[in-house]
């Protein structure tokens, strides 16, 4: 059965471009379009779609306001925000992700190049729509806190109990990542005694905004590092959008190295790059987390970490927006534990003796 999509966009040209992109895929059907949030709300109430693409800047009711209203009566409808490639667009998109949007995509910057715009959206938007509507991904929102006791922690029977010395924490995350990271950093009211390294699949501007937001939540300062920076305990270092972040050892001192080498797994930054380098710099000393996200970035890096004696945990399916990245690691038998998101921050503290 085709995925039924509602397009909410005030620009006639942009609506037509999106419709053209989606019309060529037999698994997707556009059931209608709306030019502002008020019209979209009425259409969603009358005939709920399977997914909504939601513009941010619109007259009468903008995308952020519409998102807030939609979530009052429909908590699980997948929503992909479409924003302009500007600083304001990035700021508004980040707010949307914090308010319940499932994913986002930047609009083509030059609609005069119609073929390029169509190709850009086809390659980016269609996979997001299908991933958010996969039959294997029926849950879009984390469970309620009071359901925690009903969730079990799967422990890999092939692994030993964790009694290793943790020297760093490495986190790989993509779709649904901002809210997952909020849950971690909001919990930690005391800075952790090891450095944290994060690869979140996001473009420039977005990673800086996310790092700044996470820094306001708890005791951990989250920053985009500079090339050659020496990591310190109690800090978290987020790979800047558009840059790979790897760890190197220079005269026995760990350094952060940034580079613009080709994407890995179509990603830059790439989780594999971080994980593989961490396996060399902190042999047997890494606790790695693979959280919600589309694709398999992090799978090869997780193998390198396990081979070096380090430990990998993954977020469970029920609390993931998309169980692509964590699922690939779990299915490969590389995960020490498969854990509900809200249990992870406390378990990390316990492992660190806090």
297 among known catalytic residues? yes
Instruction: Round to whole Å and give the CA distance between 30 and 2.
Output: 9
Range of the domain at 325: 145-351
Q: Kindly give the residue spans of alpha helices, DSSP state H, lying in the chain.
A: 12-23, 37-46, 63-73, 87-98, 114-132, 177-187, 206-215, 271-281, 299-307, 325-331, 344-351
- Condensed to tens digits (0 to 9), the pLDDT of residues 4-46 reads 999 999 999 899 999 999 999 999 999 999 999 999 999 999 9
User: What is the reported pLDDT for 134?
Assistant: 74
Task: Clarify whether residues 126 and 168 are in a common domain.
Answer: no
> Roughly how many angstroms between the first and final C-alpha of the chain, as a whole number?
50
The CATH number linked to 153 is 3.40.50.180
- Report residue 141 as tokens: 């929102």
Residue range 228-241: mean pLDDT, rounded:
97
Within 13 Å, how many C-alpha atoms sit on residue 130's CB side?
13
Task: Clarify whether residues 308 and 168 are in a common domain.
Answer: yes
- Condensed to tens digits (0 to 9), the pLDDT of residues 319-330 reads 999 999 999 999
In a domain, 140, yes or no: no
State which of 132, 161, 190 marks the end of a domain. Answer: 132
User: Can you name the residues that pair with 236 across neighbouring β-strands?
Assistant: 196, 222
At residue 296's C-alpha, the angle toward residues 126 and 203, to 5°, is 60
- Condensed to tens digits (0 to 9), the pLDDT of residues 130-151 reads 999 874 344 433 333 433 334 4
State which of 67, 102, 132 marks the end of a domain. Answer: 132
**One of 103, 201, 270, 304 is an active-site residue; which one?**
201
Task: Clarify whether residues 115 and 40 are in a common domain.
Answer: yes
User: What is the reported pLDDT for 111?
Assistant: 57
Task: Clarify whether residues 332 and 232 are in a common domain.
Answer: yes
Contact 105, 128 (CB under 8 A): yes
Q: DSSP string covering 299-330, please?
A: HHHHHHHHHTT-EEEEE-GGG-S-BSHHHHHH
- Report residue 165 as tokens: 């010395």
> What does the chain come to in residues?
354
Task: Clarify whether residues 18 and 164 are in a common domain.
Answer: no
In a domain, 75, yes or no: yes
State which of 79, 107, 132 marks the end of a domain. Answer: 132
**One of 297, 304, 308, 328 is an active-site residue; which one?**
297
Task: Clarify whether residues 99 and 53 are in a common domain.
Answer: yes
In a domain, 258, yes or no: yes
Task: Clarify whether residues 153 and 103 are in a common domain.
Answer: no
- Condensed to tens digits (0 to 9), the pLDDT of residues 59-104 reads 999 999 999 999 999 999 999 999 876 778 889 999 999 999 999 9
In a domain, 245, yes or no: yes
- Give 283: exposed, middle or buried? Use CB within 10 Å, 0-12, 13-18, 19+: middle
Contact 28, 22 (CB under 8 A): yes
User: What is the reported pLDDT for 1?
Assistant: 85
The CATH number linked to 37 is 3.40.50.2300
In a domain, 138, yes or no: no
Task: Clarify whether residues 103 and 153 are in a common domain.
Answer: no
User: What is the reported pLDDT for 139?
Assistant: 41
**pTM of the entire structure?**
0.89
- Condensed to tens digits (0 to 9), the pLDDT of residues 253-300 reads 999 999 999 999 999 999 999 999 999 999 999 999 999 999 999 999
Q: Nearest to residue 42, comparing CAs of 30, 33, 55?
A: 33
Q: In what order do the strands lie in the sheet with 3-8?
A: 28-34, 3-8, 51-55, 79-83, 103-106
Q: For the chain, how many structural domains are there in total?
A: 2
Main-chain dihedrals φ then ψ at residue 83, nearest 5 degrees: -135, 160
- Condensed to tens digits (0 to 9), the pLDDT of residues 160-187 reads 555 568 999 999 999 999 999 999 999 9
Task: Clarify whether residues 216 and 260 are in a common domain.
Answer: yes
Q: DSSP string covering 64-86, please?
A: HHHHHHHHHH-SS--EEEEE-SS
Task: Clarify whether residues 122 and 165 are in a common domain.
Answer: no
User: What is the reported pLDDT for 125?
Assistant: 95
Q: Tell me the pLDDT of the chain averaged across its residues.
A: 90
**One of 33, 117, 174, 270 is an active-site residue; which one?**
174
Q: Nearest to residue 13, comparing CAs of 124, 113, 128?
A: 113
Instruction: Round to whole Å and give the CA distance between 156 and 188.
Output: 26
174 among known catalytic residues? yes
User: What is the reported pLDDT for 294?
Assistant: 94
143 among known catalytic residues? no
């Amino acid at each position: 059965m085709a995925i039924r999509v509602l397009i909410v966009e005030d620009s006639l040209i942009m609506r037509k471009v999106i419709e053209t992109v989606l019309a060529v895929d037999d698994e997707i059907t556009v059931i209608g379009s709306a030019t502002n949030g008020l019209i979209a709300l009425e259409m969603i109430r009358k005939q709920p779609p399977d997914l909504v693409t939601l513009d941010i800047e619109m007259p009468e009711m903008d995308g952020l306001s519409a998102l807030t209203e939609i979530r009052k009566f429909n908590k699980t409808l997948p929503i992909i925000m479409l924003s302009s490639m500007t600083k304001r667009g990035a700021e508004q998109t980040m707010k949307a992700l914090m308010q319940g949007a499932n994913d986002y995509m930047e609009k083509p910057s030059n609609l005069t190049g119609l073929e390029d715009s169509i190709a850009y959206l086809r390659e980016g938007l269609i996979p997001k729509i299908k991933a958010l509507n996969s039959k294997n991904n029926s849950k879009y929102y984390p469970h309620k806190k009071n359901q925690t006791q009903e969730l079990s922690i799967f422990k890999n029977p092939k692994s030993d109990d964790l009694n290793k010395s943790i020297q760093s924490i490495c986190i790989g995350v993509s779709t649904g990542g901002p809210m997952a990271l909020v849950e971690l950093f909001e919990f930690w009211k005391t800075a952790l005694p090891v450095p944290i390294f994060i690869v979140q699949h996001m473009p420039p501007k977005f990673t800086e905004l996310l790092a700044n937001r996470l820094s306001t939540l708890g005791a951990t300062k989250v920053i985009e590092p500079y090339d050659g920076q020496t990591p310190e305990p109690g800090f978290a270092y987020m790979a800047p959008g558009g840059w790979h972040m790897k760890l190197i050892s220079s005269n026995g001192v760990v350094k952060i190295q940034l580079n613009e080498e080709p994407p890995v797994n179509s990603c830059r930054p790439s989780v594999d790059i971080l994980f593989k380098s961490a396996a060399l710099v902190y042999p047997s000393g890494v606790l790695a987390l693979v959280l919600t996200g589309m694709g398999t970035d992090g799978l090869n890096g997780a193998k390198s970490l396990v081979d070096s004696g380090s430990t990998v945990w993954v977020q469970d399916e029920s609390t993931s927006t998309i169980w692509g990245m964590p699922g690939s690691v779990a299915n490969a038998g590389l995960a020490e534990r498969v854990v509900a998101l809200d249990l992870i921050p406390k378990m990390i503290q316990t492992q660190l003796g806090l």
